[in-house]
């Protein structure tokens, strides 16, 4: 059901709520902002040592990782993550997904925008037709109340003047949580879990996700879109874990 409440009235309600219950920083807990200036500045951007195709972090700068070097026809043109899944971004994403704080989409989307304004995005040979969030299964959506990737996509798209087409991708079956699965288990778990309509035929599409670890979810989304006729599919995630064995710089500083 769509609300008929005017935008100014909604803003007034939010202002009143903030006065009574001031927002606290998702990173450090200080009152005053959803993500304070110090924590916003402390978010670690993804290093430049990534595979030029899948965006996975590498210990040394190489054009392609070993997995992508073996791919003859990858479904994604390329994938990038805006920042590392370390403190304070890790805590902000946790609040965003699991603590009922959808309003964090606004400050978090700024990291997607910052990444999108750098290579390889600024060198795209064509215009993107739309961005599409990774969808939740209807049961998971009902439990959470919102799709965090959808909120991120909308906040991001508004800033970069892109359309959002949530109907271009659907999750056709429920899957187990990816969090504790190995790379191979993730690929098996998510394979074939998405469907796309004929409307995507001939389109250039950017898929938005919150966290990418092995790239399994973005890859499965891309396969569905390509199978439905999309010309090109790209992936952009908010965060990716640091390399195994590497240290969280904020823990080292502490």
Domains in the chain, CATH or no CATH each: 45-253 (3.40.50.2020)
Structure tokens that stand for 88 in this block: 């304070």
**Burial class of residue 159, CB neighbours in 10 A (0-12, 13-18, 19+):** middle
**Across the chain, what does the average pLDDT equal?**
86
Q: pLDDT digits over 85-120, tens only?
A: 999 999 999 999 999 999 999 999 999 999 999 999
For residue 56, what pLDDT band results from cuts at 50, 70 and 90?
confident
pLDDT for the residue numbered 254? 47
* Nearest alpha carbon to residue 54 among 242, 215, 184: 215
| pLDDT > 50? residue 1 | no
The arithmetic mean of pLDDT across residues 189-212, rounded, is 92
Q: Which DSSP string do the residues of 143-197 spell out, in sequence order?
A: HHSS-HHHHHHHHHHHHHT--B-GGG-EE-S----STT--HHHHHHHHTT-EE--
The arithmetic mean of pLDDT across residues 126-151, rounded, is 94
| pLDDT > 90? residue 5 | no
For residue 158, what pLDDT band results from cuts at 50, 70 and 90?
very high
Greater confidence (14 vs 187) lies with 187
Residue 194, C-beta contacts closer than 8 angstroms, at least 6 positions apart? 135, 169, 170, 171, 172, 220, 221, 223, 224
For residue 16, what pLDDT band results from cuts at 50, 70 and 90?
low
* Nearest alpha carbon to residue 82 among 253, 250, 239, 254: 239
Q: What is the pTM of this model?
A: 0.85
Pairing of strands 170-171, 194-195: antiparallel
The arithmetic mean of pLDDT across residues 170-185, rounded, is 71
| pLDDT > 90? residue 52 | no
């Amino acid at each position: 059901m769509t609300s008929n409440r005017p935008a100014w009235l909604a803003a007034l309600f939010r202002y009143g709520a903030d006065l009574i219950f001031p927002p606290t920083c998702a990173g450090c807990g200080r009152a005053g902002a959803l993500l304070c200036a110090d924590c916003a500045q402390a978010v670690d951007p993804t290093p430049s040592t990534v595979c030029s195709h899948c965006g996975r972090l590498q210990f040394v700068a190489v054009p392609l990782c070993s997995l992508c070097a073996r791919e003859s026809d990858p479904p994604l043109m390329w994938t990038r993550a805006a920042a590392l899944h370390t403190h304070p971004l890790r805590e902000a994403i946790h609040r965003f997904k699991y603590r009922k704080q959808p309003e964090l989409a606004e400050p978090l989307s700024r990291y997607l925008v910052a990444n999108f304004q750098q290579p390889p995005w600024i060198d795209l040979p064509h215009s993107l037709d739309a961005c599409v969030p990774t969808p939740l299964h209807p049961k998971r959506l009902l439990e959470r109340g919102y799709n965090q990737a959808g909120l991120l996509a909308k906040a991001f798209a508004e800033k970069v003047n892109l359309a959002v087409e949530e109907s271009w991708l659907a999750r056709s079956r429920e899957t187990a949580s990816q969090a504790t699965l190995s790379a191979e288990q993730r690929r098996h778990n998510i394979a074939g879990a998405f469907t796309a309509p004929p409307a995507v035929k001939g389109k250039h599409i950017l898929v938005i996700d919150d966290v990418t670890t092995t790239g399994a979810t973005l890859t499965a989304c891309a396969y569905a879109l390509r199978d439905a006729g999309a010309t090109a599919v790209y992936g952009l995630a908010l965060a990716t874990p640091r390399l195994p064995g590497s240290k969280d710089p904020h823990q080292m500083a502490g």
